[in-house]
């Protein structure tokens, strides 16, 4: 028990040291009067980063923070806006030697509306396998790269997207299809 506590503290300490002070982050002008008014990232993110730490990005595992109820983001500004959750997972298979990419709808629609990706914005077709994506576009900040590396976990985390081993058990669980319900046997 003591060991567990010690580990948790070590994680918290390590996490607390990761966020650079605003005056020292090489992004803000240290002479600006805004420095000292803005909340320090370590103060804003430290508690979350200790509970659901991430080694990359802003050091918080946001999907876990939401799933565990550690944050309750406001779902709507206008009262008529409804959260529309979709729970299918889509395999994107043009990945050369890399693992297949599993796109999970639930983790996205918990934060985002269908119209952020489908319809007029034209990011992705609503038909599995119909969109031309490709790593080059993603790295150029298009498609998945519009958010990943900007507001969601960075593109250096290859395996978080390329998570399904070709012909491995999880691939087999799709039964030859590109789409299935998350968590279905």
Interface residues toward ligand HEC, by CB under 6 A: 62-63, 84, 86, 88, 90, 92-96, 98, 101, 103-105, 107-109, 111-112, 114, 116-118, 123-131, 133-136, 138, 143-144, 146-148, 151-153, 155-158, 160-162, 179
Shortest Cβ 40–ligand HEC spacing (Å): 21
Q: Which is nearer to ligand HEC, 17 or 84 (CB)?
A: 84
DSSP the chain: -HHHHHHHHHHHHHHHTTSPPGGGSSSS-TTSTTTTTSPPHHHHHHHHHHHSB-SSTTSB-HHHHHHTTS------SSTT-------EEEEE---TTSPBEEEEHHHHHTT--GGGTSGGG-SS-SSTT-S---HHHHHTT-GGGGTBTTTBS-TT-HHHHS-B-TTSHHHHTTTT-SEEETT--
Q: Which is nearer to ligand HEC, 24 or 86 (CB)?
A: 86
Distance of closest approach, residue 31 Cβ to ligand HEC, in angstroms: 32
Closest CB 45 distance from ligand HEC, rounded Å? 13
> Least distance (Å) from ligand HEC to the CB of residue 36?
29
Nearest CB to ligand HEC, comparing residues 9 and 55:
55
Nearer to ligand HEC, 33 or 122 (CB): 122
Minimum distance from CB of 6 to ligand HEC (Å)?
Answer: 27
Let me know: does 179 contact 86? Beta carbons within 8 Å: no
């Amino acid at each position: 028990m003591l060991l567990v506590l010690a580990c948790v503290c070590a994680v918290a300490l390590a996490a607390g040291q990761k966020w650079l002070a605003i005056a020292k982050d090489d992004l803000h002008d240290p002479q600006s009067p805004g420095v000292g008014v803005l909340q320090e990232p370590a103060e804003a993110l430290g508690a979350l980063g200790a509970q659901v730490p991430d080694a990359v990005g802003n050091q918080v595992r946001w999907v876990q923070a939401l799933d565990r109820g550690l944050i309750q983001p406001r779902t709507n500004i206008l009262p008529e806006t409804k959260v529309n959750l979709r729970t299918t997972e889509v395999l994107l298979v043009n990945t050369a030697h890399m693992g297949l990419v599993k796109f999970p709808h639930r983790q996205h629609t918990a934060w985002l509306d269908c119209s952020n990706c489908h319809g007029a914005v034209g990011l992705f077709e609503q038909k599995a396998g119909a969109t031309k994506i490709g790593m080059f576009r993603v790295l150029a900040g298009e498609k998945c790269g519009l958010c990943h590396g900007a507001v969601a976990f960075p593109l250096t985390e290859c395996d978080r997207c390329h998570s399904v081993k070709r012909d491995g058990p999880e691939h087999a669980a799709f039964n030859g299809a590109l789409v299935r319900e998350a968590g279905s046997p």
